[in-house]
Amino acid sequence: MREIGSTEGPIKIGPYSFLEFFEEVRKFHSFPAPGVVLGGIMVEAALKHMPSGILFNALSETHKCLPDAIQLLTPCTIGNGWLSIRNFGRFALAFYDKETGKGIRVCLDPARIEEWPEIKIWYYKLKPKEEVDSEILLDSIHKAGSSLCRLQEIQIQPVLLKKVKRGNRIICPQCLEAYPDDGHGACPACRGGSPYI
């Protein structure tokens, strides 16, 4: 992965000003989560470095907050399969060309957080959530913008670019529901993969 420079300038997140995006986050996520707001800044930074006119997929390295920012600002959603989550617990995302796998990864850079005490307190959970001053935190995120981010050129592993072929749908002999035939004779839930008791 090769590191590239971050972008600076007035904060515009997709078609929104910072405050407009803040309101979109409140509507979508049920409250103005700092992680989604920061995720919006990261999405914007990544999109500025993607070639225009290509079809791309997104990858989130955490299941918290970043997937919502990606879904709010791009056509990549979990439902359409263009957004995947690899829960490494890292606050990072990547956009990559569906065909070539070349793309951009953006992460929250721990060294750059040091300059922003309230962001550091929130990110490292140095205080209980209710003790973090959300007004100062969001103001810090607004002022810091993409300076908190490290951008890297990446190449997705070829195995992850292969399109998964789903088999024909068949009826599971145990639950009597349809599922893609994977040659195992019963659906994954009936083979012990169900989250239900």
| pLDDT at position 108 over 80 | yes
Residue closest to 7 by CA, chosen among 40, 46, 53: 46
Q: Give alpha helix (H) positions in the chain.
A: 18-29, 34-48, 66-73, 110-113, 117-123, 134-144
Name which residue leads in pLDDT, 165 or 77. Answer: 77
The reply to whether 124 and 177 lie within a common domain is no
Check: CB of residue 153 under 8 Å from CB of residue 164.
Answer: no
Check: CB of residue 109 under 8 Å from CB of residue 149.
Answer: yes
The reply to whether 95 and 9 lie within a common domain is yes
| pLDDT at position 159 over 50 | yes
Q: How far is CA 33 from CA 65, 73, 90, 108, 160, in A?
A: 8, 15, 17, 16, 30
Please tell me the predicted confidence (pLDDT) of residue 8. 47
If you ran DSSP here, which 8-state letter would residue 81 be given?
T
- Domain holding 194, by residue range, is 166-197
Percentage of the chain beyond pLDDT 70 is 93
Mean pLDDT across 90-116: 96
For the chain, the domain total comes to: 2
Angle CA 150–49–36, to nearest 5: 60
The reply to whether 45 and 128 lie within a common domain is yes
The reply to whether 67 and 106 lie within a common domain is yes
| Residue 182, domain CATH | 3.30.60.80
Total-model pTM: 0.85
| Residue 114, domain CATH | 3.30.1330.130
| pLDDT at position 164 over 80 | no
